Amino acid sequence: MTMAVPAGRGLVDDVRVDEREGGGRRPDPEVEPKARRRSFSAAYKLRILNEYEAAPDGQKGAILRRENLYSAHIVEWRKAREAGALAGLSKPKGRPPVDDRDKELEKLRAEKAKLE
């Protein structure tokens, strides 16, 4: 016998009565997972700032709605741009690549040490 019974807030119980193990309740599939803070790349911030500042007054709100942003984002991103922080963020992460001359110099030093 199959029966669908509302099992409470956020839970759905549609298992067979004779096959219940561990309560037989499953979480509601429409429950959102844990929220995460959004992060934006420096290129995205600069692109949106340029587009926002070039837009006429009536279109600025439309840009914010389209991108799902708040005016506070624009204020903070402007401050960061004026302080030069966004230019620094656009650099690639990690160590800078090793120069070919440095590799060759290291190789020659190791060869010299081996010969001595």
Cα separation, 66 vs 112, whole angstroms? 63
Q: Could you give phi then psi for residue 8, rounded to 5 degrees? A: 120, 180
Residues 94-103 have a mean pLDDT of: 81
Over the stretch 100-113, which tens digit does the pLDDT of each residue have? Answer: 888 898 999 999 99
Residues 34-56 have a mean pLDDT of: 90
pLDDT at 95: 78
Among 33-37, 47-51, 59-63, 70-74, which is the least confidently predicted range?
33-37
Over the stretch 55-91, which tens digit does the pLDDT of each residue have? Answer: 998 899 999 999 999 999 999 999 888 888 766 656 6
Cα separation, 75 vs 58, whole angstroms? 18
Over the stretch 7-26, which tens digit does the pLDDT of each residue have? Answer: 555 555 555 555 555 555 66
Of 8, 63, 51, the C-alpha closest to 31 is 8
pLDDT at 34: 81
Cα separation, 21 vs 29, whole angstroms? 20
Tokens of 66: 């389209």
pTM strictly above 0.85? no
Of 94, 52, 59, 55, the C-alpha closest to 77 is 52
